[in-house]
Amino acid sequence: MEVSTEYAVQMHGITKLFGSFCALDHVDLDVKKGSIHAVLGENGAGKSTLMNILYGLYQADSGEIYINGKKAEIKNPNTAIGHGIGMVHQHFMLVDNFTVTQNIILGNEVTGKFGIIDTKKAREEIIGIVKKYGLEVDPDAKIEDISVGMQQRVEILKALYRGADLLILDEPTAVLTPQEIEELIEIMRSLISGGKTIIIITHKLKEIKASSDVCTIIRRGHSIDTVPVADVDEEQLATMMVGHAVKLVVEKAPAKPGDVIFEIENLTVKNERGLEAVRNLSLKIRRGEILGIAGIDGNGQKELVEAITCLTRAQSGTIKINGVEIQNTTPRNVIDHKVSTIHEDRQRRGLVLPFTVAENAVIEKYRTPEFTRRGMIDRSRMTGFARRLIEDYDIRPAGCESQPVRGLSGGNQQKVIIAREISNEPELLIAVQPTRGLDVGAVEYVHKMLVRERDAGRAVLLISLELDEIMNVADTIGVIYAGSIVASFPQGKVDENTIGLLMAGGRLNETGSEST
């Protein structure tokens, strides 16, 4: 493409090698001034690398960058900022006990006489920016007191304060609630009308459709295509991203539920602060049924899972698997009663990162006679077992059984956990946010596995903050609000709006709901 001043940024023929691994291979990106340009790709496709090159965190091995039609050498973030480029990282870089204003001017302080910081002047300037773009941030609030969505706005403000005309947003919606996402999209629009240009890195198709004008798809270090977003649908985007057709809707046969094998009655659990996070909660799951629990974060999901897995004490109530009470025992006892859990925090609870894939694969059963004899672990059996899982579950790279699990991509780490938990042949499989941070291909895979386990006659408890996921995968949809299941519906008998209303604490007027 020709170099022209019409474009805020043009990156041509960018190649980046990490050792012998080619992260980017002659990638082109042309971003028109005043547009929202999405960069779409799976985890590890190279989209973050590309943006880090633009922001000066990495140097390209070859290729050119043009800013506003002029060739630019971006050696480090400071030169990037000098070119009017600002970046909002996925993980915020804010000082928690500083105010918004202090954070924004940090490293860029306006000083008056004797080197005293002129906070007043900076504050006024910030208020000006806040008003101009409708950011609604209180410049005097402390970071630790404001929500994640607000913190993100502070990051945006920081970039604007430093004179950014082009904003790079790295996975900006990963940490936001649905409402905050909508607000962010509005802010992006007002930034555009104020003459800014935005590049948004994401793998969420819905948000691209909702926010962006143009989308560049990157796959395995190659730029696949650049398309106007209005001309394509989500499925087409997904296909280009993954490289093969992807089904966004989960295909499954109708559930054939059997007996109730898992039952919670009147469960009450206190959280760390001593407040009742789960209140009088009851639920039942049958064999061959997926119970999906929808709810806004912080309504007791975490404490519910901790009580079932015996990481936390239940104050009252019972949890029964196959008629046996398991509440307030030990995690070991729960596992022994054939309850397997895919924890939402795979790096903290799910895996021992420095351990090899094989060591992680046996973490719940290394003591069984299959793997341990006379106190010694049979390493060849352990690696053999891991090799089977790697093959059966297509964990990549193939032959990674003796590599530390830390080196695997997020999706493959999740596969290790799923493979391990399913290999326990559980009666009840609990999946908490099992697709968080995964790309489309991996999400499809995880959902397929849950359905497969359901069809194998297991009870599945799916807890997710993504309403789409619950609507798609669950056979029975329960809504958790303030620590209780407030309603439940068979799949297909309820729409998203109703669930959304219940999640927010609303009540149903109609009598169509059955309560458990």
Partner 1 sequence: MKLAAKVLKKPIASTLIAVLFGFIVAAVVLVAAGYNPGQSFGALFHGIFAKPKYISNVIIKATPIILTGLSVAFAFQTGLFNIGAEGQYIAGAVAAVLVGVKLDLPPVLQIPVVVMAGVLGGTLFGWIVGYLKARFGIHEVITSIMLNWIGLYLSNFVVASGTYHMPNSTSTYPVNPSSYTMLLPNWKTSKAGMAALKPHQWLYEVMLKTDVNFGFLVAVLMAAIIWYLLYRSAKGYELRAVGFNRDAAEFAGINVNKNITDAMVIAGALAGLAGALAITGTAPHKISTLAAFENNGFNGLSVALIAGSSPIGCIFAGLLFGGLLYGGQSVQQDVGAPTEIINIMIGTIVFFVALTKIVPVLAEKLEKRGAGHVQ
With binding defined as CB under 8 A, does residue 61 bind partner 1? Answer: yes
Binding to partner 1 (CB under 8 A) within 329-348 occurs at 330-332, 334-336, 341, 343, 348
DSSP 350: I
With binding defined as CB under 8 A, does residue 354 bind partner 1? Answer: yes
Residue for token digits 């007002």?
190
- DSSP letters for 186-231: HHHHHHHHTT-EEEEEE--HHHHHHH-SEEEEEETTEEEEEEEGGG
CB of 420 to partner 1, least distance (A): 9
Pick the piece of the chain touching partner 1 (CB under 8 A) from 145-153, 210-218, 328-336, 485-493.
328-336
Q: Give whichever of 135 and 335 is closer to partner 1, judged by the CB atom.
A: 335
CB of 401 to partner 1, least distance (A): 15
At residue 207's C-alpha, the angle toward residues 488 and 133, to 5°, is: 115
- Give exposure, 365-400, as e/b (b: 16+ Cβ within 10 Å): beeeeebbeeeeeeeeebbebbbebbeebebeeeeb
Among 42, 180, 359, 444, binds partner 1 (CB under 8 A): 359
CB 162 within 8 A of CB 55: no
Give, in order, the Cα–Cα distances in Å from 157 to each of 48, 99, 136, 154, 173: 21, 13, 11, 5, 17
Q: Give whichever of 341 and 423 is closer to partner 1, judged by the CB atom.
A: 341
With binding defined as CB under 8 A, does residue 311 bind partner 1? Answer: yes
Binding to partner 1 (CB under 8 A) within 97-136 occurs at none
Q: Give whichever of 29 and 334 is closer to partner 1, judged by the CB atom.
A: 334
Among 92, 162, 355, 466, binds partner 1 (CB under 8 A): 355
DSSP 443: H
**What's the token pair of residue 110?**
């306006």
For 278, the 3-state DSSP assignment is: strand
Q: Give whichever of 212 and 423 is closer to partner 1, judged by the CB atom.
A: 423
**What's the token pair of residue 348?**
């903290």
For 31, the 3-state DSSP assignment is: strand
With binding defined as CB under 8 A, does residue 20 bind partner 1? Answer: yes
With binding defined as CB under 8 A, does residue 413 bind partner 1? Answer: no
With binding defined as CB under 8 A, does residue 76 bind partner 1? Answer: no
Q: Give whichever of 92 and 366 is closer to partner 1, judged by the CB atom.
A: 366
CB 424 within 8 A of CB 417: no
Give, in order, the Cα–Cα distances in Å from 302 to each of 194, 298, 423: 41, 7, 24
With binding defined as CB under 8 A, does residue 349 bind partner 1? Answer: yes
CB of 326 to partner 1, least distance (A): 12
With binding defined as CB under 8 A, does residue 19 bind partner 1? Answer: yes
- Give exposure, 112-139, as e/b (b: 16+ Cβ within 10 Å): eeeeeeebeebbebbeebbeebebebeb
CB of 437 to partner 1, least distance (A): 17
CB of 23 to partner 1, least distance (A): 12
Pick the piece of the chain touching partner 1 (CB under 8 A) from 43-51, 147-155, 234-242, 355-363.
355-363
**CA gap 224, 240 in Å, rounded:** 7
Q: Who's near 403: CB < 8 A, 6+ residues apart?
A: 356, 357, 397
With binding defined as CB under 8 A, does residue 57 bind partner 1? Answer: no
Give, in order, the Cα–Cα distances in Å from 327 to each of 285, 300, 342: 16, 16, 19
CB of 375 to partner 1, least distance (A): 5
**What's the token pair of residue 83?**
């070119």
CB of 505 to partner 1, least distance (A): 31
Residues in the chain: 516
CB of 364 to partner 1, least distance (A): 5
Residue for token digits 């295509």?
225
Among 93, 275, 352, 456, binds partner 1 (CB under 8 A): 352
Q: Give whichever of 331 and 512 is closer to partner 1, judged by the CB atom.
A: 331
**CA gap 461, 447 in Å, rounded:** 13
CB of 362 to partner 1, least distance (A): 8
Contact characters 261-300, partner 1, x per CB under 8 A = ----------------------------------------
CB of 405 to partner 1, least distance (A): 10
CB of 240 to partner 1, least distance (A): 29
**CA gap 312, 425 in Å, rounded:** 24
Number of residues that bind partner 1 (CB under 8 A): 34
CB of 412 to partner 1, least distance (A): 17
Contact characters 362-401, partner 1, x per CB under 8 A = -xx-xx---xx--xxx-x----------------------
Strands 459-464 and 428-432: parallel
Q: Which residues bind partner 1 (CB under 8 A)?
A: 17, 19-20, 61-62, 309, 311, 330-332, 334-336, 341, 343, 348-355, 359, 363-364, 366-367, 371-372, 375-377, 379
